[in-house]
Structure 1
Amino acid sequence: MDHTGTNIAEALEETIQQWGLEVEKLVGVTTDSGSNIKLACDLLNWNRLSCFGHNLNLAVGKGLNDARVQRTLRVVRSAVAAFSRSWKKQRDLVIAQEQRGLEIHKLKVDVVTRWGSAYDMVERMLEQMDAVRNVLSEDRASSHLSPSWQDRDVLQSIAAALKGLKTMTDALAAEKCVTVSVVKPLLSHLAEEVLVAENDDTDLTKEMKKRIKDDLEARYDDPELSFLLELSSFLDPRFKLNYVSNRAEILEEVEKEMRDLTDSSVDDSSHLPSSSQSGSSGMAAPPSKKAKGLSKVLGRCLGNSQSVQLTPRQQVKQELDQYLSHPQLDVEASPLDWWKTEAVRYPNVAKLARKYLCLCATSVAAERVFSCGGHVVSDRRTYLKPERVDNLVFLALNMKN
């Protein structure tokens, strides 16, 4: 079956029905930037969130869109290809590395779909530049492939622009499940620290940082998307209001949704039998307790000892204030694990967290499943039934943990 947008939409609808899921409860889906999956979400009228990792990789591509940068990258790729095709050059490279006291590392080449691979290639070439130039210069047939000193300057500018982004992509790829609540903090970190032009940056580095920053801002400039990201960040106990620009608007929306949840629970309780109904069915009301001890002496002075019944609006306000006053969670901790234990204390806020934090910031987790499925269903195992494939993939992913 062709992976067209229409076919993907039909497959998603069938899967939703097969799993018995309610589309009305769907907050959104996280996908890559493929045109077919975009069309499928549009046909289904689903809110779509682009994978943060893919967006960052595309923004880096815009940053590298410079004539000087592209020429230098082509030189590096040609040099790496010359070593990959010749075992003699690989042998000579090791000898040159040992003579210069360099690490015995192989050269790397970038891959368009692999996050951070451009920085890896540039960094490795800068590390092994002297050895590479020595080996290539000894062979007249490949001496023209040797990077020049001007190329070294361009590579250093590229490395300075991409170093912070490489650290971030590695951190994203290492996480098992990154919730959508981290997108706003990451964007803020990029804009205020990683992509800020430094005094010692070259003009080329500054231009690259600006292009990357502008591209990322353009991808997240939609007001509805920005509101969703801020709302999700608020529901993360690690961030709360730290990355919310319009606090009044976010708090108003949270209170509104919490009141709706409270009202729905009240409506559900209204279906329970009333006291008069229970009395008519033969169940006697519990007898009133007789005052004794201190309650007999001080009861009239202190008034009713029972707790005051709060209105739904007051309950929402009290619960929200308590959540905000709770100490923030450590950044390394898991917000999902925290909500498992604290849901009893903040039940309505926990329902909102369950609603919005189910969204993933990246599609890494899903792609890992597809990669695992590709290893399970090999050329020699094409007769596996779907149920058996599901079980094997489940075991392969969970037995690692």
Structure 2
Amino acid sequence: MVSRLLHNREAVQATLDQQNNHRLVMLTEAEWGKLQKLELLLEPCRYVTELLGGEAYVSCSVVLPAFRHLDRIMDITDDDPAYVVKFKNAFQKDLAARQANANKTWLEVATALDPRFKDLKCLPKQKREQVWTSLEDMLHTAESRRATTLQPYTEDDEPAQKKRRSALLLGSDSDSEDGMEFGELQRYRAEPSISMEDCPLQWWYVHSGAYEKLSVLARKYLASPATSIPCERLFSLAGHIVQKKRAALLPENVTKLVCLSDWLKK
């Protein structure tokens, strides 16, 4: 809105001059200068909003880096005039309230499992190791659940006997799969970060053989959208398809039409 007003400044001025209405007062030069400064501050917000609302790429792991980027943008400097300081303070207060309501644990794990942001520079240094510890606990918990689902031993069930032996090994202090999980996590941390243009899901697909258990967690966490905007788009699309005159469409036909509409765009 601000950008459009600045772009059409001369046209707006000419239109108001023709109105011959003294109650319509144009902005002063000082106010135009404030709008130009605010446009620069709001541009990163527009970009982040569009980025987190995308649906053709991974967005969940981008939330914390985006928040950190906005925090840096809104840092108050000595050169900021009073109205900019007021704006930045209000923005930081609102952003902090939204961060407090976010599922930080989920976002931190998603960021760590994204090969683009796994250095976790968007988090404080003391917080980074806690995230990796949480990931290690998740691997141990997943393996423990898998071990508890093993069938008990019976004399006429040889496969169950092998599973039982595996469960005994998992519970021992020897070189078990717990060590393999730990090594898997350490090897992933040692991997170089990928480019921002690369797809993290494609990276995990290629490396799923080397990181069998981590890749399962990556699919779970990275598949979550950052916002509900993609879901809202889907509801809007379905609303355009199932109209008043098409209310008798079968559910399976609605699904086909929604999918075809999405595929045609791509």
Tell me the TM-score normalised to structure 1 length: 0.55
Moved more, 351-360 or 391-400: 351-360
**Aligned pairs for 1:317-336 within 5 A:** 317-336=182-201
In structure 2, what is the Cα distance between the partners aligned to 1:177 and 1:350?
17
On the 8 A contact 2:2/2:35 being kept in 1, the answer is yes
Q: CA deviation at 1:177?
A: 4.1
Which amino acid counterpart does residue 133 of structure 1 have in structure 2?
Q
Moved more, 251-260 or 195-204: 195-204
From 107, 114, 125, give the equivalent of 1:236: 114
Q: CA deviation at 1:268?
A: 5.2
Q: CA deviation at 1:275?
A: 11
Alignment partner of 1:204 is 2:117: no
Which amino acid counterpart does residue 195 of structure 1 have in structure 2?
M
Deviations 1:341-385 (A, max 9, x none): 211110111122123223211112112211211221234323323
From 113, 130, 134, give the equivalent of 2:10: 130
Which amino acid counterpart does residue 196 of structure 2 have in structure 1?
V
RMSD between aligned alpha carbons?
Answer: 2.8
Partner of 1:259: 140
Give the paired residue count. 248
Q: CA deviation at 1:138?
A: 2.5
In structure 1, what is the Cα distance between the partners aligned to 2:232 and 2:6?
32
In structure 2, what is the Cα distance between the partners aligned to 1:188 and 1:202?
23
Which amino acid counterpart does residue 368 of structure 1 have in structure 2?
R
Partner of 2:50: 170
Higher relative contact order (CA 8 A, sep 6+): 2
From 123, 129, 148, give the equivalent of 2:27: 148
In structure 2, what is the Cα distance between the partners aligned to 1:275 and 1:253?
41
Q: CA deviation at 1:269?
A: 5.9
Moved more, 143-152 or 209-218: 143-152
Moved more, 365-374 or 131-140: 131-140
Q: 1:173 to 1:229 in 2, by over 3 A?
A: closer
Which amino acid counterpart does residue 144 of structure 1 have in structure 2?
R
Which amino acid counterpart does residue 134 of structure 1 have in structure 2?
A
Structure 1: stretches of 5+ with no match in the other structure: 1-120, 279-308
Partner of 1:347: 212
SS at match of 1:138: helix
Q: 1:145 to 1:175 in 2, by over 3 A?
A: farther
**Aligned pairs for 1:260-339 within 5 A:** 260-267=141-148, 277=158, 310-339=175-204
Q: CA deviation at 1:132?
A: 1.6
Alignment partner of 1:248 is 2:129: yes
Partner of 1:107: none
Which amino acid counterpart does residue 203 of structure 1 have in structure 2?
A
**Aligned pairs for 1:2-401 within 5 A:** 121-141=1-21, 144-149=23-28, 150-192=30-72, 194-198=73-77, 200-221=79-100, 225-242=103-120, 243-245=122-124, 246-267=127-148, 277=158, 310-401=175-266
Deviations 1:91-113 (A, max 9, x none): xxxxxxxxxxxxxxxxxxxxxxx
In structure 2, what is the Cα distance between the partners aligned to 1:272 and 1:328?
45
Q: CA deviation at 1:321?
A: 1.1
In structure 1, what is the Cα distance between the partners aligned to 2:110 and 2:64?
9
Q: 1:156 to 1:276 in 2, by over 3 A?
A: closer
Identity within the alignment, %: 29
In structure 2, what is the Cα distance between the partners aligned to 1:176 and 1:274?
53
Deviations 1:237-286 (A, max 9, x none): 111132343233222221122122233444556668899948xxxxxxxx
Which amino acid counterpart does residue 24 of structure 2 have in structure 1?
L
Which amino acid counterpart does residue 230 of structure 1 have in structure 2?
E
In structure 2, what is the Cα distance between the partners aligned to 1:318 and 1:334?
24
